[in-house]
Amino acid sequence: MLLEKGVFRAGLKFDCPSCQLEFWRSLDDVRSRLECEYCGHAFNASPQLRDKAWAFRRSGLFGNDDHQKGAIPVLLTLQQLMNIHREDHGFSTTAMSLAPKRAAIRACETDFVVVTESGRDHRIQIAIGECKTRNPIATADVTNLMAVADAFPTDRYDVFLVFARLTPFCAEEIDLIKKVNGRYHSRAIMLTERELEPQFVYERTAQEFDIQQIAASFEDMAAATVRVFFEERRRAPDAEPVGGEANEGSQAS
């Protein structure tokens, strides 16, 4: 599917007989006589074709090593959130700059905002996200978004703060994000590549932790974050992951 969509390009790797460095050529550019991209040496590539496996490279947006400055984790996070809340029940926007008028917040940026309606009591639910590739979640990231979340009236809005990155969170980040939650209310949602890559957000995580594979609401995701990252409730070795839809009535403790 990724080849059909053009995310990956097929090609082969060759060893230059002059400088001994390995380089890649796309399927369209493979010829019997090649020129090394490092030293410029031209050589006959035919003897290297025996038992050579295909080598794939990312292309376009996915080929940029800086992930388009965080675009990839933002897209993956929005995809998982939209799997829970359909677009016709709300809307989303990316790269917002927030500035105070009367609210007690600092000027800051957010990677995305998702606004939707709760299916049970028709409250407005808002998910505000901070996404990273491999850079850590900073203290300012958390405190700024907490102030934004606190600015919404609690009688009408449920605000969740989403922190996502393409590598595991360190202990310092987990302790920092844990402060987002109140004593009786959980609003922090944490996602890593383990949750972002599968079709179902907790498909892989449920193999290791005592949670369900599918989340049906932001509340379910916040509850899963508590179990996985804060309490580390690991699944018993002989226990099978729970499938099916998450309980819509579940609440984070």
* 88-110: pLDDT as tens digits: 567 888 888 888 888 888 888 89
**Looking at residue 67, what is its pLDDT?**
47
* 180-230: pLDDT as tens digits: 998 888 999 999 999 999 988 999 999 999 998 888 889 999 999 999 999
The more confident residue out of 117 and 11 is 11
Q: Per the domain annotation, does 12 fall within a domain?
A: yes
User: Are 111 and 215 part of one and the same domain?
Assistant: yes
Going by pLDDT thresholds of 50, 70 and 90, the confidence category of residue 245 is very low
Rounded CA-CA distance 81/105 in Å is: 25
User: Are 38 and 150 part of one and the same domain?
Assistant: no
User: Are 89 and 12 part of one and the same domain?
Assistant: no
Domains of the chain: total: 2
Q: Per the domain annotation, does 56 fall within a domain?
A: yes
**Looking at residue 241, what is its pLDDT?**
63
pTM of structure? 0.70
Q: Per the domain annotation, does 237 fall within a domain?
A: no
**Looking at residue 249, what is its pLDDT?**
40
User: Are 123 and 15 part of one and the same domain?
Assistant: no
Going by pLDDT thresholds of 50, 70 and 90, the confidence category of residue 142 is very high
User: Are 181 and 222 part of one and the same domain?
Assistant: yes
Domain boundary among 62, 83, 102: 62
User: Are 116 and 162 part of one and the same domain?
Assistant: yes
- Which of 66-70, 154-158, 213-217 is least confident? 66-70
Q: Per the domain annotation, does 194 fall within a domain?
A: yes
> How many residues in total does the chain contain?
253
User: Are 35 and 97 part of one and the same domain?
Assistant: no
Q: Per the domain annotation, does 2 fall within a domain?
A: no
Q: Using the predicted structure, report yes or no on whether residue 134 has a pLDDT greater than 90.
A: no
User: Are 158 and 193 part of one and the same domain?
Assistant: yes
User: Are 179 and 80 part of one and the same domain?
Assistant: yes
* Domain hosting residue 189, numbered range: 67-230
Q: Per the domain annotation, does 26 fall within a domain?
A: yes
Rounded CA-CA distance 31/42 in Å is: 11
CATH number at residue 202: 3.40.1350
Rounded CA-CA distance 229/143 in Å is: 19
Longest Cα–Cα distance of the chain, Å, equals: 73
The tokens for 85 are: 């809340």
Rounded CA-CA distance 215/80 in Å is: 10
**Looking at residue 251, what is its pLDDT?**
39
CA dihedral over 149, 125, 84, 94, signed as positive or negative: negative
Coil, helix or strand at residue 110: strand
CA-closest candidate to residue 60, choices 111, 1, 133, 2: 2
Coil, helix or strand at residue 137: coil
